[in-house]
Amino acid sequence: MKIRLIGPQEDVSPRQVGPLRDGQGRTVSYLRLSVTDRCDLRCTYCMPERMSFLPKSDILSFEELLRLVDGFIARGITKLRITGGEPLVRRDVMLLLEQLSHRLGTTSLREVSLTTNATRLEHHAEELKRFGIERINVSLDTLSPETFAQLTRKDQFTAVMRGIERAREAGLRIKINTVALRGVNEHEIAEIVAWAHGQGFDMSLIETMPLGEEMSGRSGQYLSLQTVRARLAERWSLEPITFSTGGPSRYVRIAETGGRLGFISPLSHNFCDTCNRVRVTCTGMLYTCLGHEGGVDLRDALRAGTGQDAFDAALDRALIAKPARHDFSEAGLDQPATRRTMSVTGG
């Protein structure tokens, strides 16, 4: 495999042409990069059982992904999250992560993290830690093997739990992300919180968002986090805290567990004013908002060999048009906001 190697001692020296600012005056310093749209699970709220995936020839090579990341670092990105689809199913993805880790400390990139479903985490946890990846997000919506099998349409619960355990042993900081789903896991949310905090993990709850044209009819699954929070408050003392990861989560500390719990409520509470992120798909489409169709194709700028100027121009074009906010609403749950699913945009 041909990828440009950058060792920890080598200076990448990105050209500084100024930070990324959007048309609303927000500074964008966080890139979520999807390295594949493929996944080994089929979570019912995320993708259809017979999902059609993108042709492999459309997917950016590691070399292109690295050039893309360097282009973003040159424009002030300090935080990078690798996601998918399931990032750990991309072949040789650890080679890419190793190369990205060399940008830590040699460029202005300060953090590389990963979002994963953990099915393959047990094989990679130690290496991730060795590469300087400190924190990972693990998506887990249930502690019941039966519910897991129904919800993800795959029988991988035991592998996921082994992966989480291995990551904990390796010293990775873990945040559990759980989508709150009416009639599916709503009865066990407190149990998941107690388990996560008992393991020393942070946790965030997420409202299901209407994404994906084949995924209509979300109103049956939607559970407002205002309802969840009120239920948890009957059992525990939830103390609002100012802790922030720069993202949309509003955190409380639960006095009884001592752990942090975040609420990501795109439908019941809009959080776009402080949005600092953009997303790039594995084919190089830059989306400045999870909930809007509009995107700019960076692959052309990467493949045409027109250099950083064309890349910068494409970034600026996209950033100027970054919407002020998404338009998710409880009333619009049955009408997908975007044709693409979250697994394509990169969650």
- Of 42, 135, 162, 269, the one binding ligand SF4 (CB under 6 A) is 42
85 binds ligand SF4 (CB under 6 A): yes
Between 107 and 115, CB nearer to ligand SAM: 115
Q: Taking the alpha carbons of 244, 35, 205, 118 in that order, is the dihedral positive or negative?
A: negative
DSSP label at residue 56: G
160 binds ligand SF4 (CB under 6 A): no
Q: Which does 179 bind (CB under 5 to 8 A by kind): ligand SF4, ligand SAM, none?
A: ligand SAM
Between 41 and 194, CB nearer to ligand SAM: 41
- Of 20, 41, 109, 140, the one binding ligand SF4 (CB under 6 A) is 41
CA distance 140 to 185: 11
> Shortest distance, CB of residue 140 to ligand SAM, whole angstroms?
9
**Strands (DSSP E) along the chain, which ranges?**
20-21, 27-28, 30-34, 79-83, 111-116, 135-139, 173-180, 202-207, 238-240, 250-254, 260-264, 277-280, 285-287, 295-297
46 binds ligand SF4 (CB under 6 A): yes
Q: Cβ atoms within 10 A of the Cβ of 194, count?
A: 19
In the block, which residue shows the tokens 């919800």?
A: 151
Residue 165: phi and psi, rounded to 5, are: -65, -45
Site string for ligand SAM, 67-96 (x = CB under 6 A): ----------------xx-x----------
| Per-residue tokens: 96 | 């890419």
Q: Please answer whether residues 65 and 95 qualify as being in contact, where contact means their C-beta atoms are separated by less than 8 angstroms.
A: no
SS (H, E, C) 97-139: HHHHHCCCCCCCCCEEEEEECCCCHHHCHHHHHHCCCCEEEEE
CA distance 329 to 102: 41
100 binds ligand SF4 (CB under 6 A): no
343 binds ligand SF4 (CB under 6 A): yes
115 binds ligand SAM (CB under 6 A): yes
44 binds ligand SAM (CB under 6 A): no
- Of 28, 31, 35, 47, the one binding ligand SF4 (CB under 6 A) is 47
Site for ligand SF4 in 16-35 (CB under 6 A): none
| Per-residue tokens: 107 | 């460029």
**Of the candidates 199, 202, 181, 176, which has an alpha carbon nearest to the alpha carbon of residue 254?**
202
> Shortest distance, CB of residue 183 to ligand SAM, whole angstroms?
16
CA distances, 319 to each of 10, 17, 23, 238, 296 (Å):
30, 14, 6, 37, 9
288 binds ligand SF4 (CB under 6 A): no
153 binds ligand SF4 (CB under 6 A): no
> Shortest distance, CB of residue 268 to ligand SAM, whole angstroms?
13
Contact positions vs ligand SF4 (CB under 6 A):
39, 41-43, 46-47, 84-86, 117, 139, 343
Contact positions vs ligand SAM (CB under 6 A):
39, 45-46, 83-84, 86, 115-117, 139, 177, 179, 206, 208-209, 211, 342-343, 347
